[in-house]
Structure 1
Amino acid sequence: MPPPPSGTASEPYAVIAVAASAGGIHGLVTLLGGLDAELPVPVLVVQHLDPRHRTVLAEILGRRTELTVKLAEQDEEVRPGTVYVAPPDRHLLVGVDGTLTLSRSELVHFLRPSADLLFESVAGAYGPRAVAIVLTGTGNDGAMGVDAVKSRGGTVIAQDPHSAEFRGMPEAAMGTGAVDFVLPLEEIPAVVRGLVEMKRQ
């Protein structure tokens, strides 16, 4: 069994941050489709996208989940039950007051948006109240970020590489030693629901 997640019952989770790359649309549809509109926390998503094209990712995901899905906007305040997707070619960050920032700062591992930057901002803003999830993808984006989340007492979930279309990102996350749960894709929504509801009892 994995170790119990960090934090105490007096500190309910306040945010879920998700990273995906190649194969990620299927992963996100499965994850978000397993969560209902009463989800008591916001969800922040980095999916690596072609920066040259307008994205319809929010519309695609919105048709497959009861949650509200939208492209993140500068200075927007996050709300429970809403999914905020990083726009193409923008880093997505969140502050301690729950306000989003979109940044054109330097590429990280040749990427913008970067899962590492999202996870690091979530770790700084929410500490033990953060859940970070790494889904299918190539490369190692997210590995430094999950380390930051874990070091601040947050909880980290990685998709089981055997159930991932592309194993690079979940394997890199697992290589940090910071992952609490390694789960087949279909099991992740139930664990997320259990975590955010368990700490509210």
Structure 2
Amino acid sequence: MALQVTSVLWKAHVEDRAVAADDFQVATNSIDPQAMGPSDILVELLYLSVDPYMRGMMRDSKGYYRQPFTPGEPLSSRGLARVLRAGPDVGSGFEEGDVLSGMLPWSSHAVLNRRAQAALQLVDSRLLGKLPLPTFLGALGAPGMTAWAGLKRIAEPIKQGEVAFVSGAAGAVGLVAGQLLKHKYGCKVIGSAGSNEKVRGMQRCWH
């Protein structure tokens, strides 16, 4: 039985103006699970993360560190998906019911080959149900890892009682960095943000 799929497509590259709603297109098609290859997996999208790096992928830029989005194809970003079906020769070890994180197309459902599976990681089943799923895209995802790596690999040694300044402290990375500096390292943390509303949100999070 065919599965109805809804996708968000990228219409055309946008160079020197703000991205608008008209630059996206919602499209529907269908997937026949019976036509999957033996090494494919069928996934259901759960959550997507909209991140700053995506703006560079909306340009026709050859020098960007990620490939541009392809006009007429679904956008992609970090997300969470659940495996609905796995072929008999799936080499990744993913099984039906697994929750995966990584780069995913903006489609309600997708059939992913081995190359696409290589960009995905299994979410630890011991943590499922104990934490909200979006946590695995935030504090336990790329923003949290970026904050941790910046402190652990670049800023250390950090001494308890030192004063630490976080620029862009109301963003996804800055919020995690501020909490680590305060609660793990014992620092006095000062942060900057672009509006009073963001500052209040930052203060609530850090407390």
| TM-score with structure 1 setting the length | 0.28
Which protein has the bigger helix share? 1
Say which one has the larger Rg.
2
Which protein has the bigger strand share? 2
Greater RCO (Cα-Cα under 8 Å, separation 6 or more): 1
| TM-score with structure 2 setting the length | 0.28
